[in-house]
A and B are shown apart, each in its own frame.
Chain A
């Protein structure tokens, strides 16, 4: 993993991160750098887990899930992906959906990241959308390939007191947007029945946990 920031700077940023909301009081540039550091440190941890050949499949899955659930605001993403059905579905169905979505997202993210374990990720900068909404830009490259590095962006929100990941884009394609488009279309085809979507997501989560055919 190549790092775009110096070790000293990273240590300072990590200290700021660990001190809770300290970065919120800092200026926009400092907050942006905290978002960059958040992505840099945690994506490296995730790739390290997926690369660790000493772990069993179950250990790898559990460690990755623990890391992921600490980084990603799954509830916020899940509510977003329901689109307009979030307002019309019974609250108990929405809660059941969020639980099914958590299992699906964990399995899907692990499946996506597992493809890139031999690649390096370099943070190249960030864009601030609002005082608490950042897009951290990175380049993903394969040291053994002549191909151009791929642009991977991470969307980080800081409005809950600590940085959380809410979306990731590969070459400009945002995962949460794609999930929302799918779920809304699926619900449209199934009379808005969120329970049908829950059943389908649960089945997919199980299948994604199995090796690809």
Chain B
């Protein structure tokens, strides 16, 4: 059994939990506002956000604090670079699937340069020579292929999402080459990578999320709006959407 089957097992369990949660709220009719916001499972999503908030408060934030104390800034940057380098094959495939050949070439260049000159990805010499990184995932690929996002979802542990992006998570995990290598200690590798990805993400976003929580009238709907706008921006690859804005 390799990483792929382990990861599929974990993701399958998570999506089973989501399905159960959605089934639990099936008898509760959504409010007109929730339907208007394309969020028919709003109450369940709000409950899930509270659950994620408790995990964040009692487990993630304390470990991020320890991470900041034990690992100096240079080391944290190295971990961030290394994790980004691991994602490059998946980004490359999604670039190709979207027909973005130029961006695919840049992803491949980054992988080659950072894996060699960058000592296994811990350093990022590619950015210094004018090949900056970019993100891409199968959720975005589905969007480029014309798949609608579907209703808003808050996934346990993963946070804001929708059926399209949740599908993308599973497909990205399945296509990740490191999840196919049958190492003996594969479960530790997979768990360690997920753990450090979470630490890195939370360390990078700590102040931003604190700012949103502090200034929000309704944190849940603020996150929902930010997530949707951010995903649309990522799908457009930063291209301007000046004509799509509402008039006011």
Contact = CB atoms under 8 A, between A and B. Distances in A.
Contacts of B230: 171-173
Interface residues of B, number: 34
Nearest to A108: B215
Contact of B216 (A129, A151, A182): A182
Contact of A181 (B211, B215, B225): B225
A43 interface: no
Contact of A129 (B222, B232, B243): B243
Nearest to A146: B127
Contact of A207 (B37, B214, B220): B214
B34 interface: yes
Interface stretch (A8-16, A17-25, A50-58, A197-205): A197-205
Contacts, number: 96
Main secondary structure of the interface of A (DSSP, over half): helix
B222 A181 contact: yes
B177 to A, nearest CB: 27
Contacts of A153: 240
Given A184-B37, A184-B221, A185-B220, 13 more contacts: A108-B215, A111-B215, A129-B245, A146-B127, A172-B233, A172-B241, A177-B245, A177-B246, A182-B221, A183-B218, A201-B217, A204-B217, A208-B214
22 contacts: A76-B248, A111-B214, A111-B215, A133-B247, A137-B240, A167-B245, A173-B226, A173-B233, A174-B229, A177-B229, A178-B226, A181-B221, A181-B222, A181-B224, A183-B217, A183-B218, A184-B33, A185-B37, A186-B218, A188-B31, A188-B34, A200-B217
Interface of A: 76-77, 79-80, 108, 111-112, 115, 127, 129, 133, 135, 137, 146, 148, 151, 153, 155, 166-167, 171-174, 176-179, 181-186, 188-189, 197, 200-201, 204, 207-208, 212
